[in-house]
Structure 1
Amino acid sequence: MSNNLPNQPLSGVRVVDFSRVLSGPYCTALLADMGAEVIKIESPAGDDYRHVAPFKNGESALFTQVNRGKKSVVVDLLTSEGQKAVRHLVTTADVVVENFRPGVAARLGIGWDELSVLNPSLVFLSISGFGQTGPWANKAAYDVIIQGLCGLMSVTGQPDGPPTLVGEAVADVVAGLFGAWALITALFERERKGGRNAAGRYIDLAMFDSMLSLMVTSTTSSLFTEETPVRVGNRHPLSAPFGCYAALDGYFSLAVLNNKLFSKLCKVIDAESLLNDDRFITDSSRNQYESILRDHIEKWSRLRHVVDIISIFESEGVPCGPLLDVVQALSSEQVKSRNMLVPLEDHRLSPQCLVRQPAIFGGLSQVRLKHAPRLGEHTHEFIS
């Protein structure tokens, strides 16, 4: 089987990708990064993300980021000819990914029941908002809707403010991550059972379910205590002092999770009398009186610059950090040393970098990221 990166872990794996916008494309971008040949099936109008700003030289930044390294094949799935073409292509594939609403793939003739007959070893992933079953299965699913329904917004924001949307399309991205994990798991299972001579597997993945799985602190706390988690602002809901605090010229974060660290903190801020106060003996009690601790910390920190606060705390072994904006984070020495920004091989956008997938595989050199395809760029390679 052909592939772009013959020495990568997923070289030889062919993915037929019917997904669009974010959750599915992010999933398959991760596979492409590792050498899988991802064949993106697009309608004549193309993926909606091709038309979403911001743009550079006419190319969408978002489309470029989540469709790097793929091949674009234009097929009209509403025609019998289009369905015949993709069914033939699927017979050569290891993986199919789709993120239509439940039932749409079947109506287009590309559902699991139809394609698994043609290719019994196929691993098939369906990503949807709420899964293929349940009373919400056919609800419209966008990130803001999922964030609201899973409870994430209810625990995000200031206590006296409204529920707050997380500043990233986290539900889509998390579903993409879990999708890639599920596909690799199923491919590993198939490989152990005989590779392409073994039976494949169908995977039903919901954005809603993915978010509940992500929300470890909130869901576990609720299940164990039968209490409803609430918004606590820029602090940890269960520990203290553990959150963001004000300085003379900005904000910084602290993570004090045990008595040893609390003792060091009190020494730094000249508040060692707190160590003999029964209200602050345990992490749980400190959380109960978090506002009092905050007053003590900020009485000290508001007189000092962030850079000086970080220096003092780090010298004493107290976990802390400044609050950076996105530009500062991307330009940090840490990002540079980890080579997180990888050059994109695309003459349309050169010079341009993208954020790479985060795992570093020992003995495997970091490759340059392949360009996102032009609409229909590879149609003639696969469709006669």
Structure 2
Amino acid sequence: MHGALEGIRVLDCTQIIAGPLAASLLSEMGADVLKIEPLEGEPWRLQAEIIPKESKNFLVQNRGKRSIALDFKDPRVAPIRDRLLTSADVLITNYRPGVPETLGIDYQSARRINPRIIYAENTAFGKTGPDAQRRGYDIVAQAMSGLSTSNPNLQNGLPMPVAFAPADVVTGFALAWAITAALYHRQRTGQGQAITSSLLLSALALQAGSREIVALDEPLRHEKLAHLAQARARGASIDEIIHERRRFAPELAGNIYYRPYRTKDSYLVVGCLGPGPRARFRQALGITDPRYEPGFDRTNLAEVGNELVRICEETFLQRTNEEWLTYLEQFDIACGPVRFIEELFDDPQVQANGYIQEYEHTLLGPIRGPAPIVQMSATPTRIQRASPALGEHTDDILREIGFTPDEIQQFRADGLVR
């Protein structure tokens, strides 16, 4: 059986995380993804290299692709570029606005050569507006979107970014999702189209605070903005600002139902969402929660919540992780141990579902990593190959788009390809 995107060719002209991840996801659905790299390799190859031109970061985001290395900036590469565009179904870019135009790989240039092409362009902050030309990465999008302060991890008084690059990762998945929809639209209509995404929008979409019921939430938002202005004017630290803002959501101070706990020998988390699971949690711990009783005086909300937190934290310290997990499962409470990633490779649940798979890298040998994130019965997903070595498939790809061995040799002699 073939993957759903068998026969689809993707030109991946992207770097770092969001675009490369999107293209890698498409490869797991069967697409032939050509990683178009500069002659020196994309920057992610060169970040904390294991061996020359290979890094773990690159391995993660570029699995399943073939690599062709060429110099898009040299005008003599235009015949190669144009034949690649002719052969492609999808083109993905993630340059700052205006750069694709200078390289001849913007949507208008691509569609003149191939009217059916699906063009997916990711930027940091959108294609227009005062920040359009600002250089941006995930950490900047997290900061500018409010994500890094929405659930802050403060170290030495500084708001630290979420480590797994959420704006990049969400954008990667969203791009792959949009590209598959655009391919379906093309199948029905014969028409290509342009897709745009940005790290800023992805970071906004991740936050519950980016949605408001105008009648209820807009006044509170302006109250928060007034507090921010006052706090900044008096030189308050971000730690002080975050602490003061808790008064706008006093119920968060008493969160006992959806959080980690320390036990006698380790840590676990519980997740109780909705009245039923929360009632079972109270039953399991033998506690009452006055906040659920009729007529509760909300002026005491924070005080009552803090006392409940203290009681629950002390209770969980009385048993081991295993004892608590066994006990809580009797009440059908969602819970689990806090682990480190190294523990997952030999985990029975991971092994039973085949969630870790092995594949071969040309230079590094066997690699183990997560299986494709979805499984499909009729059009199975699969890992086509490890990430490619720089320029590993240059000759193969150039032959496929019609260049002769002599022409390829000349391209290399002219320094256009690697």
Q: Please, what TM-score do these two structures have when normalized by structure 1?
A: 0.87
CA distance in 1, matches of 2:89, 2:393: 19
Distance 2:358 2:146 in 1: 38
Aligned-pair distance for 1:73? 1.1
- Whether 1:313 and 2:328 are equivalent positions in the alignment is yes
Whether 1:176 and 2:191 are equivalent positions in the alignment is no
- List aligned pairs for 1:1-384, cutoff 5 A: 7-53=2-48, 55=50, 59-157=54-152, 162-193=158-189, 198-215=190-207, 217-220=208-211, 225-226=217-218, 227=220, 240-271=256-287, 274-275=288-289, 277=290, 279-281=291-293, 289-364=304-379, 367-383=382-398, 384=403
Distance of 2:79 and 2:255 partners within structure 1: 58
How much is the aligned-residue C-alpha RMSD, in angstroms? 2.8
Compute the displacement of 1:34 (Å): 1.0
Look up the equivalent residue of 2:211 and give its one-letter code. Answer: T
Give per-residue Cα distances to partners, 1:174-212, cap 9 Å, x unaligned: 11111111111111111111xxxx221011111111121
TM-superposed deviation, 1:24: 0.8
Gaps of 5+ in 1: 1-5
Amino acid at match of 1:95: V
**3-state secondary structure, aligned to 1:91:** helix
How far, CA to CA, are the matches of 2:140 and 2:78 in structure 1? 32
Query: Are the aligned partners of 2:30 and 2:382 in contact in 1 as well (CA < 8 Å)?
Result: no
Q: Which TM-score applies when normalising by structure 2?
A: 0.80
Deviation of residue 267 (structure 1)? 2.4
Aligned pair count?
368
Instruction: Name the structure with the higher helix share.
Output: 2
User: Distance between the aligned counterparts of 2:154 and 2:392, measured in 1?
Assistant: 51
**Distance in 2, Cα, partners of 1:255 & 1:141:** 35
Match of 1:3 in 2: none
Separation (CA, whole Å) in 1 of partners of 2:255 and 2:317 = 22
Instruction: Structure 2: give runs of 5+ residues left out of the alignment.
Output: 225-241, 404-418
**Cα pair distance change 1:72/1:35, threshold 3 Å:** same
State the alpha-carbon separation in 1 of the partners of residues 36 and 349 from structure 2. 37
Q: What SS does structure 1 have at the residue aligned with 2:265?
A: coil
CA distance in 1, matches of 2:40, 2:354: 35
Q: Aligned residues: percent identity?
A: 27
Residue 284 of structure 1: how far off its partner (Å): 12
Structure 1 letter corresponding to 2:329: E
Determine if contact 2:253/2:305 at 8 Å carries over to the other structure.
no
Q: In 2, are the aligned partners of 1:33 and 1:369 still within 8 Å (CA)?
A: yes
Higher relative contact order at CA 8 Å, sep ≥6: structure 1 or structure 2? 2
Q: How far does residue 222 in structure 1 lie from its aligned partner after superposition?
A: 7.9
What is the alpha-carbon distance in structure 2 between the residues aligned to residue 153 and residue 44 of structure 1?
35
Give the counterpart letter for 2:347 in structure 1. Answer: S
